[in-house]
Copies of this chain bind each other. A is one copy, B any other.
Amino acid sequence: MGKKEKTSFQLKTPKGTKDWEGTDMVIRDRIFSTITEVFKRHGAVTIDTPVFELKEILAGKYGEDSKLIYDLADQGGELCSLRYDLTVPFARWLAMNSSIKHIKRYHIAKVYRRDQPAMTKGRMREFYQCDFDIAGEHDPMLPDAEILRITSEIFESLGWQGKYTIKINHRKILDGIFEVCGVPTEKLRTISSAVDKLDKSPWEEVRREMTEEKGLDPTVADKIGTYVNFKGGRDLLSRLSSDGTLSANPSAKKGLGDMMLLFDYLDAFGVLDKISLDMSLARGLDYYTGVIYEVVTEGSAPASTGNTEGQKLQRTTKKEKSASADVDEDRSADPTVGVGSVAAGGRYDELVGMFSGKGQIPCVGISFGVDRIFSITKARMEKENTKAVRSNEVDVFVMAFGGKGFTGLLKERMEVAKQLWDAGIKTEFSWKVKPKLPQQFKAAEAGGVPFAVILGEDELAEGKVKLKQMGLSEDNPEKEGVMVSRDELVAEVRKRLKNLTDGLDEAAQMVAELKVQEKEDVPGEAPAIPTVS
């Protein structure tokens, strides 16, 4: 930075990127720490991979979306690309570290896609992903159940009680359905992809794709249609299991067995009431091999659809759909997160082998759409007039006052600040030699600082300062503050800070602040939220 000449720059961030600042940054950090706390509660560790990978590591992993990969310029040496997601770097890491046979890892980091940005819709070229995965051989469905428990804990911790549903399905059940309906083996995946579109397209359209584009026999398509609209809980599972044709199919039988076991485990974990078994859930990515899931919430569906009957919505015509909210525009930039979903994932037992060329490590994971969770949280806070989020965390503002000949008591303010910092108390004071008292109060109020320590010459001479809680009502006996001795200041501040939080620990406080309006819980059987947009 040797030059001092002024240069005229285009002052902006690159297209599709933004600076995070102010209360947005605070809300985002709280969401991250809430999520991280849950991961740690389950013994997870984190790893941090480079923001770019060798180009060949990413090549051939994302199908036609590969065109969205950012490459680094060829400045000599290796060819590299910015990471497109966190899954491929994790699989690369597992393959490189073959001594690691088991891990629960989370990773919250930015990923990069050269997509057409739609900033107002939250589709960015640089955005955060938050992934949690369990790798390793374990007894069936135990890691899968724990991931769903973790998912539930995260949304409960974010204060979304009763406002989310975890849709689940199983690739092997789906494959079994396709087989008993008569889908030829070579068409299994492409028909599965068509079904996956049921979350944004009506059945008629999906049926047309199956029959006209993919050449499926219309009677086969109609049979599929009777299955994929099923939604429910244990009752649906029993109904499917007692379907003689279906349970005679080995793939479906395996999937149904897994699902029975999973439901038992989810019951023991107390999360069964958040679950909706949904036969229309297929998930786009090819690599899933077992249970798959997607979390939907009110806010994650387009705002214009007031209809609570998912089934009905699913039947809207294409024209109706286009006339409603810009569904496609509203789609998260993250293809691993479906339309209207805030988290998604599943079991992928064969991905790591793509890298290692050696043994497979079975994996199951979930990706949280943190940018979308952020937008929903922020919108709810605004709608519900949640108490303004503070951009810093200062607890005490040290100020001084005095009459004629007021010196500013700067050194004294510094010494009191030092005393509080030494005790770990978050403290500020005015960086003015002779600040006016109203200015100091204004600064404390602007920052939402809960306590003022006010210094006056006479009081200091007696070894005392005034401790005042900001914003007390007129009739509060401590409205004007209380005199405390310098020796007892730290203890008095601590006591009052503790009272202020009313015995809530920091986590609970965070939740309370982020908490959204309570709502009656919805049984898994008939979700009151539109599961399809």
Contact = CB atoms under 8 A, between A and B. Distances in A.
A286 B4 contact: yes
Nearest to A416: B268
A414 B48 contact: no
Contacts of A507: 424
A165 to B, nearest CB: 20
Given A40-B426, A72-B71, A264 B411 contact: yes
Interface residues of A, number: 110
A520 interface: no
A188 to B, nearest CB: 13
Contact of A40 (B75, B392, B422): B392
Interface string A348-359: 001101111100
A22 interface: yes
Contacts of A2: 63, 286
A99 B305 CA distance: 39
A149 B421 CA distance: 10
B1 A286 contact: yes
Nearest to A46: B25
Interface stretch (A10-18, A170-178, A377-385, A482-490): A10-18
Contacts of A354: 3-7
A427 B394 CA distance: 33
B350 A4 contact: yes
B25 A414 contact: no
Contact of A15 (B78, B264, B447): B78
Interface stretch (A51-59, A214-222, A339-347, A466-474): A51-59
A418 B268 contact: yes
A516 B72 CA distance: 42
A15 B29 CA distance: 31
Contacts of A22: 45
Contacts of A353: 6
Interface in A308-346: none
B421 A77 contact: no
Interface stretch (A137-145, A235-243, A294-302, A522-530): A137-145
Interface stretch (A89-97, A223-231, A252-260): A89-97
Interface string A94-130: 0111000000000000101010000000000010000
A428 interface: yes
Given A41-B421, A57-B9, A21 B4 contact: no
Given A41-B427, A47-B20, A425-B41, A432 B15 contact: no
A250 interface: no
Contacts of A425: 41
Contact of A45 (B25, B60, B350, B427): B25
Given A1-B351, A45-B22, A415 B268 contact: yes
A498 to B, nearest CB: 13
A443 B2 CA distance: 57
Interface string A58-70: 0011110000001
Given A286-B4, A353-B6, A414-B269, A143 B431 contact: yes
Contacts of A306: none
Contact of A53 (B13, B73, B393): B13
A462 interface: no
A184 interface: no
B54 A432 contact: no
A433 interface: yes
A286 B17 CA distance: 30
Nearest to A29: B46
B411 A268 contact: yes
A147 to B, nearest CB: 12
Contacts of A139: 431-433
A44 B354 CA distance: 45
Given A48-B19, A427-B41, A71 B60 contact: no
Interface string A493-507: 000000000000001
Contact of A285 (B1, B95, B269, B418): B1
A3 B268 contact: no
Nearest to A508: B424
B126 A50 contact: yes
Contacts of A26: 45
A2 to B, nearest CB: 4
Which 10 A-B pairs give the minimum distances between C-beta atoms? Answer: A17-B50, A138-B431, A71-B73, A268-B414, A20-B48, A142-B431, A2-B63, A43-B394, A43-B428, A21-B47
Given A9-B56, A42-B421, A52-B126, 15 more contacts: A1-B351, A4-B354, A6-B357, A7-B354, A13-B49, A19-B47, A19-B96, A21-B97, A41-B424, A41-B427, A42-B426, A45-B391, A51-B126, A269-B417, A270-B418
15 contacts: A2-B286, A7-B354, A11-B95, A17-B52, A21-B47, A40-B393, A41-B421, A41-B424, A44-B392, A45-B392, A71-B72, A71-B73, A139-B433, A149-B421, A269-B414
